[in-house]
Structure 1
Amino acid sequence: MSQAPLVLVDGSSYLYRAFHALPPLTTSTGKPTGAVKGVLNMLLSLRRQYPDSPFAVVFDAKGGTFRDELYADYKANRPSMPDDLRSQIEPLHACVRALGLPLLCIEGVEADDVIGTLARQSAGRQRDVVISTGDKDMAQLVCPHVTLVNTMTGSVYDIEGVKNKFGVGPEMIIDFLALMGDKVDNIPGVPGVGEKTAGGLLTGIPGGLKGLYDNLDQVATLSIRGAKSLAAKLEEHRDAAFLSYELATIKLDVPLDVQAEDLYPAEPQHEALIALYRELEFKNWLDDLLREARQAENAASANDADEPATPQAEARYDTVLEQQDFDTWLARLEAAPLFAFDTETTSVDAQKAELVGLSFAVEEGAAAYVPLAHTYMGVPAQLDRDTVLAALKPLLEDPGKAKICQHGKYDMNVLMHYGIELRGLAWDTMLESYVLDATATRHDMDSLALKYLGQSTIRFEDIAGKGAKQLTFDQIAIEQAGPYAAEDADITLRLHHNLHQRLAATPALLEVLERIEMPLVPVLARIERNGALVDANLLGQQSIELGEKMVGLEREAFELAGEEFNLGSPKQLGAILYEKLGLPVLKKTAKGQASTAEDVLAELAERDYPLPKVIMQYRSLSKLKSTYTDKLPQQINPRTGRIHTSYHQAVTATGRLSSSDPNLQNIPIRTPEGRRIRQAFVAQKGYKLLAADYSQIELRIMAHLARDEGLLSAFRDGLDVHRATAAEVFGVPLGEVSSDQRRSAKAINFGLIYGMSAFGLAKQIGVGRPEAQAYIDRYFTRYPGVLDYMERTRAQAAEQGYVETLFGRRLYLPEIHSKNAVMRKAAERTAINAPMQGSAADIIKRAMVTVDTWLQDSGLDARIILQVHDELVLEVHESIVEQVRAELAPLMQQAAELAVPLLVESGVGDNWDEAH
């Protein structure tokens, strides 16, 4: 039986390559980890391929080697190691050791020499060796028993592979490198000799480097470019060539106290790996380890006891099937000062979900699941759902009884279908995490448990399966459903205790949670339940018209291209644009193909190339058709006849709400087609739509933050701020500002908020870069407070690592200290914009709470049905439209006190477009 091959990994080569080739990755505290993760991915992949092999990861040691003594300038051209890479060496070494993999690092020689020595020893004993590297120097080691693999590219080099790659066999690779030299390692070689010339010399004159120099008179006879003058050049650099030979030769006799038999991996050190993965925030690997550990504990517990193991060794989870047990739990809930609960349902869509069961936790480790509607064959008898809900209703509706949920808005909506209006939702762990740090992690329960509790939870897929055969919760056996559901409530309670303590350490963040996010939950739940009425017939007609326009654009594209092609195929479009029509290639994809991305087509269209313009129009109409006119009618709830979007509080980094199914934030307002989609959002008979929108809110917040007298005066005096800016920047009287000047000033005003450069502004307003820079310079001269705000904010972000909104919400910026200039500049732009965008988000949220409270208390026949960006849309009985309109704007304007007036503009109509 043949032996498993010895696997030798060139750790230093992969560390550098992973650092430079892979996207930067950092922890939530800004610690770089991308190279570590890249190398570990490669190592784990290799171990799966060679599970029975001896295995060593070899790194360069600190300090010089014998090659530095041979040649003082060896590797002198290499830039010093970046700090972001240097800081990853020790964590990588620690991870390799914790994985149980032998790690070799020998002073005075390079990793190549250690690998070469081990490879030669093993090959001499007829044992196969696999060397994993991206270094071409290693090709000299290839022989019948030694193969190179490049895990990053998937390349494999045996003897024939080396010949095909380099044009010479492994036995000639040192000679090949001696002639070519190596810029990276500063091996001199012979100037002007590249791969083709080196290969031609070595194949044309036998005997390697020595044979070549013994027969320089034959060089002129070779079919090599510049052959006649090559002999003299070779002679001139004879010493450099032979020195290069020595430098390129991998040492095969390094004294080592290990052999292949000593390199079998040990068992992984699970506790050490868990600590390292937690520190480096490798969440998936950490989760896998924790799940393995729990499965092992459960298996051990199951072997040691008659009772099945619970997910938590210290947990006491009950599955409640008897009335007496339910009564006991109900009494515990009534006595508890605070409890967590969760609903289990048949759907993630709260408007369609049916309640299957409820779980509760009154203290950490004490939780129960009450199954109510499991429907599979052979299901045990369950308590009556209506009876249980009637008993729980007073408790769940008691505003004085504090409750905790994870994503409580969903539970509110589900319970509302059963006549229960959840009150007293004091805490939501999803929102606690989101307010604590919007950028640090996902805010689902499984991710939070892993991050804050170091605990891997039972996943829904673990008990329901995956894909098309996944069970709904009512089909899951109660024996499995019970521990899963009870754990949900238990974890929610544990998370609250952990997260609330962290929030309490920063009172401003706790106030954002208590004053903005938590009061908004029932408001959003109501808006989602209210839904919006849409005219399916109008959308259907528009869909037909969009389809006809797309056919026309397709024909136009075919005519411009001179042939038919698939407009949706980047490959075919690229061939038409760049190969057939010869348009300039402005950008390439990661795979080196000419890009057909939206920004590229837009720039080509600006250069008056007609086909890119047609393609952009086609794509725009196609997106509207597929996303809205075709899909919206399918999203009408058959029970209510309305569309019920889902609003998400814990997604965007700045605090803005997002929506899905449908996404209402992306309906274009500046195109006729987009406005027609808004026309399909209609008021029901006897009602009107009232839309109220904050005017230029982010600019007003910028004026407030910057305290610039010029901007403050413009807003206080009720001037058109873009016209006022144009007058200042272009040096003309206010009354003489042209529409083009106002448009340019508007681009400057909004562009500066988002950190636009002179290049970006020039592109947007169609002027040269120097002219655009002059506009920006003049702007800052006229509005020095804005420049001061920007510089002050950059400095604060760098010092603190975060910026804040007017209300204390924080946005952390881990890349503000990045050594990568592009990433650092992006973080600085975010730092400038986030306080404005985040404050605008906080203001609209505060306004929604105020308006909803007013509508609930007043009993007016009006309700909020949509929230998009800085706009609220209400459905109001036509008899009170003017009354509601008169009271709405002042309420929204009271949401914040700024140094300039908050202005709310409103409109009324039979549809959203009319009202906007």
Structure 2
Amino acid sequence: MSRKPLVLVDGSFYIYRSFFALPPLSTKDGQPTGAIKGALNALNKLLKQYQPSHVAVIFDAGGATFRHELSADYKAHRPPTPADLKAQFAPLQDIVRAMGLPVLLEQGVEGDDILGTLAVEAASHGWDVIISTGDKDMAQLVNERITLVNPFMDTVLDATGVEAKFGVKPSQIIDYLALVGDASDGIAGVQGVGPKTAVKWLQEYGSIANLIANAASIKGKVGETFRNSLSQVALSQQLATIDCQLALKVHPDALIRHTPNHTVLKDLYQRFEFNGLLASVDASALPTLDEQSEPEAPPISTKYHTVTTTSAWSALLDKLNLVPAFAFDTETTSLNYKEARIVGFSVSLVVGEAYYVPLAHSYLGAPEQLDRDTVLKQLKPILENPHIGKIGQHLKYDTHVLANHGISLQGIVFDTMLASYVLDATATRHNLDDLAKHYLNYQTTTFEELAGKGVKQLTFDQIEIDAASNYACEDADITLRLKELFVPKLLAEPSLNHLLHDIEMPVAPILQQMEARGTLLDFAQLQKLSQQMGERLTELEKQAHDIAGTVFNLASPKQLGEILFDKLGLEGGKKTATGQYATGENILEQLEHPLAKVILEHRSLSKLKGTYTDTLPKMANPVSKRIHTSYHQAVTATGRLSSSDPNLQNIPIRSAEGRQIRQAFIAADGYQLVAADYSQIELRLMAHLSQDERLLHAFSMGEDIHKATAAEVFGIPLNEVSNEQRRNAKAINFGLLYGMSAFGLAKQINASRSEAQAYIDLYFNRYTGVKRYMDNIRHQAGDKGFVETLFGRKLPMRDIHSKNPSIRQAAERAAINAPLQGSAADIIKLAMIAVDAQLKLQQLDAYLLLQVHDELVLEVKNEHVERVKAMLPIAMSGVANLAVPLLVEVGVGNNWDEAH
């Protein structure tokens, strides 16, 4: 499912616009506030409309920039900022931060360049981006991913809108501004050239470069003026170009929208006499990630205890032996499950009351505590008793920690993180602090408040016991409160209750076992690959120098650009505002020159070397040589698992180098790796969900689905389908799963847009059931605001009614794909549960190691390989009853590549 758009707010535009367009306001003490209030009203309107999870508000920090160095006239004639406006910048930024929104400004850098850099970077990684501004310069950034929104005027500018407003395409905006000029910015332009002339010229000649090439043919005085202004035009181009290649310290994925600090907000709103906004805080009505937050829970008196004596511990132990279930949470030395040790633990048996048992606080002057080994030995029978229920938040982590102390946690009956994820995957993040705020309207004490931040942050064993006890007890208490809140919600929706108790929670301990076992690495293979890649990189560097006819730094965009476009004279060079050429991957791929191909290969290989072959051995356990990834259940909206440290799901499959990297994932002596992969599961799910007769027939007959599609689309016998026709059909099959447009398909199959549309039309004429399904699912998403998987997982479509066409269309594409991807995610989890059960039932010496996309990888004792090979297709194909067979392909090898 596509992510919510990244929202980038031009804070300087917001406050300037509000100051000059709205009536002045001030507090009783004379503090001007009108611009602050106007900006906040517009910002809240924007947040309510787009509900972003990632957002930033960007301001100009002031000071000279590179543009001032280029031109002494740049912004030189602007009147000084009014004092009443100056006085409102800092308060607005303080309020925005208290709202939980990142604020960005950098001395000597214009806010426009920060906006442009973040927008382009995010768009290059597949994000849709909303830039909220009224600045016409920003129109140069608009493309199929980047849209401009002005909440003051209720306008939305996509590429079509830019052309309708200015008469030129977004790619021509820089040239348009360079011709017309901008008096407020000190951009001269060409005297006598207004918008009409600029549009006429650019529509006729396409660009200033072509205009210059034909300058002699431009008649009249304006032509003479233009010919005499060429150096000024070049400068105007530089001044008008937004620099999208800043070396920022923050990346788009770090621009997370946090829970507002209501205490600070109330103080600020009181200070600036914003009574309406103050009332919204009191009513918890500020825009949040989801407007359907729970009403404020009635206050509950709390009774928190610190257990430091043998008698108190014995009394608590007796209680734990008698209760049917209790909330449990560990406090540890590290968030890294592989090395974390217990510092203490908390339990809650009834809402409002909790106990903290400190065991290993070691700060100077720490009081005497109970002996950790003794307490854990006494607690072990309770924690390992499957008949005493354990309630927790992200209990997979606690399971790891307890295993580090020789305890096997049993009897998990409820996990609040997974319950929240099942109820609504996108309403909020699923950590305890955010769940407390979202569902209980309760502000917990955060770990940063307790331990500090950054390099000076304390580990938990350095926290004073009194403060640690309140924090730990609160965690257990809040966990129990959330459980009490979630249970009736889940019971009211049986499909979601089934998802939690029959899929998500049973998968968690399997993931914990996979993480704990880890996968064996062949260090020698990785070292060999690194060496080979290093040698190949050296060869490529020499090739590049030979082709260029000079020695240069391949990693320097400046040097590369000068060689490609100045020395070699290649067409397609485009300079950024810093004066150097853009040399991104999209630019290089368009260049028909051997140097561009060498550079692309060099970059790809360098990335593989740095990300995998050099890094994997450093991340592995140096003794066991096993690498232990972390699987995350509560991240993706569709239910797909993700992994990190390392992200094994991103290892390339199709390239030769990617396969060589997989060869470094090996089986232990006496074992082999067995890989089982669902074949074309999303296409099979499309056949099932759409009930399209032709798809059902092709799969039921075991036909090559892509050849069958080609035969249908092109109206030819199956045995006459060419390889190219099959490739095109494959692109259609997979493209339509993601709602691909004719434009997207055209790029995939290297055809014109009209040819691609003709293919799509032919496809839908033959596969009418697929067309009907796609239309129905769009309507369902519009009517209900969500779509569902086969197993009842709800996938919210919050942007399905967006006024922004590009955002709405992205939501419609997501609505088509989400039930397929989500159902596939549920099926692979059910497969893990079924396979794990069979391994235990048949007492096989075999272990699940990896789950990547639709594939499971196991480490199997040699003598059990044949039994596992026979078991896997039966267990995995039996987890879902589809209208077409669920085909499972199984491979065996000494390494992952051989098995795959």
User: Would you say same fold, with TM above 0.5?
Assistant: yes
| Alignment correspondent of 1:663 | 647
* Bigger mean CA offset, 405-414 vs 578-587: 578-587
Name the residue aligned to 1:281. 288
> Does residue 1:725 correspond to 2:713, yes or no?
no
Q: 1:571 to 1:386 in 2, by over 3 A?
A: same
Q: Does 1:358 align with 2:345?
A: yes
SS, match of residue 800 in structure 2: helix
Question: In the TM superposition, what is the alpha-carbon distance from 1:372 to its structure 2 partner?
Answer: 1.3
The correspondence of residues 355-394 of structure 1 with structure 2, limited to 5 A, is 355-394=342-381
Output one character per residue of 1:604-648: Cα deviation in whole Å (capped at 9) or x when no partner: 15xx34333323222221221111111111112245431111111
Contact 1:42/1:152 (CA < 8 Å) preserved in 2? no
Code of the residue aligned with 2:308 in structure 1: it is L
Shift of 1:446: 1.4
CA distance in 1, matches of 2:46, 2:613: 54
Between the aligned partners of 2:834 and 2:223, the Cα distance in structure 1 is 86
Call closer, same or farther: CA 1:719–1:802 in 2, change over 3 Å. Answer: same
C-alpha contact 2:18 2:36 (8 A) present in aligned 1: no
Matches of residues 512-591 of structure 1 in structure 2 within 5 Å? 512-577=499-564, 581=568
Equivalent position of 2:471 in the other structure: 484
Mean Cα displacement is larger for which, 572-581 or 399-408?
572-581
Supply the AA of the counterpart residue of 2:812: E
- The 2-side partners of 1:693 and 1:773 are apart by 33
The aligned runs of 1:436-447 (5 Å cut-off) are 436-447=423-434
SS in 1 for 2:762: helix
Q: Counterpart in 1 of 2:803?
A: 819
Give the corresponding residue for 1:743: 727
2:599 to 615, 619, 625: 615
- How far apart, in 2, do the equivalents of 1:276 and 1:908 lie? 60
CA distance in 2: counterparts of 1:743 and 1:320, whole angstroms: 68
CA gap 1:51/1:621 in 2 versus in 1, 3 angstroms = farther
Q: Which runs of 5+ in 2 are unaligned?
A: 50-79, 90-108, 115-163, 166-178, 192-219, 226-269
- AA partner of residue 453 (structure 2): K
Q: Which residue of 2 aligns with 1:397?
A: 384
Residue from 404, 411, 418 that aligns with 2:405: 418
- Opposite residue 88 of structure 1, the aligned amino acid is K
Once the 2 structures are TM-superposed, how far is the Cα of residue 360 of structure 1 from its aligned partner?
Answer: 0.9
Counterpart contact for 2:396–2:508, Cα < 8 Å = yes
Shift of 1:464: 2.1
Question: Residue 321 of structure 1: SS of its match in structure 2?
Answer: coil
* Partner in structure 1 of residue 419 of structure 2: 432
Deviations 1:803-861 (A, max 9, x none): 11110111111111000000001000000001111101100000101111121232211
Partner residue in 1 for 2:32:
55
Q: In the superposition, relative to structure 1, how do residues 806 and 317 fare at CA in structure 2: closer, same or farther (>3 Å)?
A: same
Q: Which moved more, 1:788-797 or 1:384-393?
A: 384-393
- Does the residue aligned with 2:626 lie in a helix, a strand or coil? coil
Partner AA of 1:625 in structure 2: K
- Give 2:877's match in structure 1, choosing from 893, 904, 910: 893
Matching residue's letter, 1:830: A
1:884 to 865, 868, 875: 868
How far, CA to CA, are the matches of 1:264 and 1:494 in structure 2? Answer: 35
Report the 3-state secondary structure (helix = DSSP H, G, I; strand = E; otherwise coil) of the residue aligned with 1:814.
Answer: coil
Q: 1:594 to 1:367 in 2, by over 3 A?
A: farther
Q: Which amino acid aligns with 1:412?
A: T
- In 2, the alpha carbon distance for the partners of 1:571 and 1:558 equals 15
Which amino acid in structure 2 is aligned with residue 381 of structure 1? Answer: E
**Is structure 2 residue 429 aligned with structure 1 residue 452?**
no
Distance 1:595 1:639 in 2: 46
Deviations 1:227-279 (A, max 9, x none): 999xxxxxxxxxxxxxxxxxxxxxxxxxxxxxxxxx99448788525247644
Instruction: Report the CA distance shift for 1:882/1:815 in structure 2 as closer, same or farther (over 3 A).
Output: same
SS at match of 1:333: helix
CA distance in structure 2 between the partners assigned to 1:555 and 1:400 by the alignment: 68
Match of 1:236 in 2: none
Give, in whole Å, the separation in 1 of the partners of 2:12 and 2:486: 28
Structure 2 residue matching 1:357: 3-state secondary structure: strand
User: Is the 1:133–1:151 Cα contact (8 Å) retained in structure 2?
Assistant: no
How far is the alpha carbon of 1:463 from its aligned partner?
2.4
| 1:510 pairs with 2:497 | yes
- 1:706/1:481 CA distance change after superposition, 3 Å: same
Q: Within 1, Cα distance between the matches of 2:498 and 2:396?
A: 20
Residue 364 of structure 1 and its aligned partner are, at CA, apart by 2.0
Residues 787 and 228 from structure 1, CA distance in 2 versus in 1: closer, same or farther, beyond 3 angstroms?
Answer: closer
Contact map agreement 2:44 2:287 (CA 8 A) in 1: no
User: How far 1:564 moved relative to its partner?
Assistant: 4.2
Alignment partner of 1:280: what SS? coil
Match of 2:427, as an amino acid? A
In 1, Cα distance between equivalents of 2:885 and 2:441: 48
- Residues 811, 196 of structure 1: alpha-carbon distance in 2 compared, 3 angstrom cutoff: closer
Higher Cα Rg, which structure: 1
Mapping for residues 783-798 of structure 1, pairs under 5 Å: 783-798=767-782
Q: Deviation of residue 863 (structure 1)?
A: 0.8
Cα distance, 1:776 vs. partner? Answer: 1.4
- Give secondary structure in 2 for the equivalent of 1:55: coil
Could you say which residue in structure 2 is the equivalent of 1:800?
784
- Conserved 8 A contact 2:32-2:84: no
**Which segments of 5 or more consecutive residues in structure 1 lack a partner in the other structure?**
1-22, 27-32, 62-83, 93-122, 135-149, 156-182, 185-191, 205-223, 230-262, 291-311
Q: How many residues align?
A: 699
Residue 774 (structure 1) aligned with residue 731 (structure 2): no
- Superposition RMSD on alpha carbons, in Å? 4.2
Q: Give the SS at the match of 1:844.
A: helix
Q: Deviations over 1:531-568 (max 9, x none)?
A: 11111111011011111112222233334445444434
**2:350 and 2:480 in contact (8 A); partners too:** yes
Aligned to 1:351, the other structure's residue is in SS state: coil
**C-alpha distance after superposition, 1:15-71 (max 9, x if no partner):** xxxxxxxx9779xxxxxx979999589999xx9xx998621316999xxxxxxxxxx
TM value normalised by structure 2: 0.71
- Taking only the aligned residue pairs, the percentage that are identical comes to 54
Closer, same or farther: CA 51–578 of 1 in aligned 2, 3 Å: farther
1:641 aligns with 2:625: yes
Contact 1:412 1:421 in 2 (8 A): yes
1:54–1:264 Cα contact (<8 Å) kept: no
* Mapped pair 1:868 → 2:855: no
Q: Which amino acid aligns with 1:281?
A: T
Offset of residue 529 of structure 1: 1.1
Secondary structure (helix, strand or coil) at the match of 1:816 reads: coil
Match of 1:710 among 694, 697, 701: 694
Counterpart AA for 1:612: A
User: Which AA in structure 2 matches 1:628?
Assistant: Y
Q: Which amino acid aligns with 1:332?
A: K
Distance 1:641 1:42 in 2: 60
Q: 1:837-852 to 2 correspondence within 5 Å?
A: 837-852=821-836
Deviation string for 1:392-434 (max 9, x for gaps)? Answer: 1121112222221111111111111222111111111111111
The verdict on how the C-alpha distance between 1:128 and 1:747 changes in structure 2, with shifts beyond 3 A counting, is: closer
Cα drift, residue 597 of structure 1: 4.0
Matches of 1:450 and 1:264 in 2, distance apart?
Answer: 24
Q: Is the 8 A contact 1:664 1:868 kept in 2?
A: yes
Structure 1 residue 389, shift from structure 2 partner: 1.2
Scaled by the length of structure 1, the TM-score of the pair is: 0.70
Spell out, residue by residue over 1:870-909, the C-alpha distance to the aligned partner (whole angstroms, 9 max, x if none). Answer: 1111111101111111111100001111000000000111
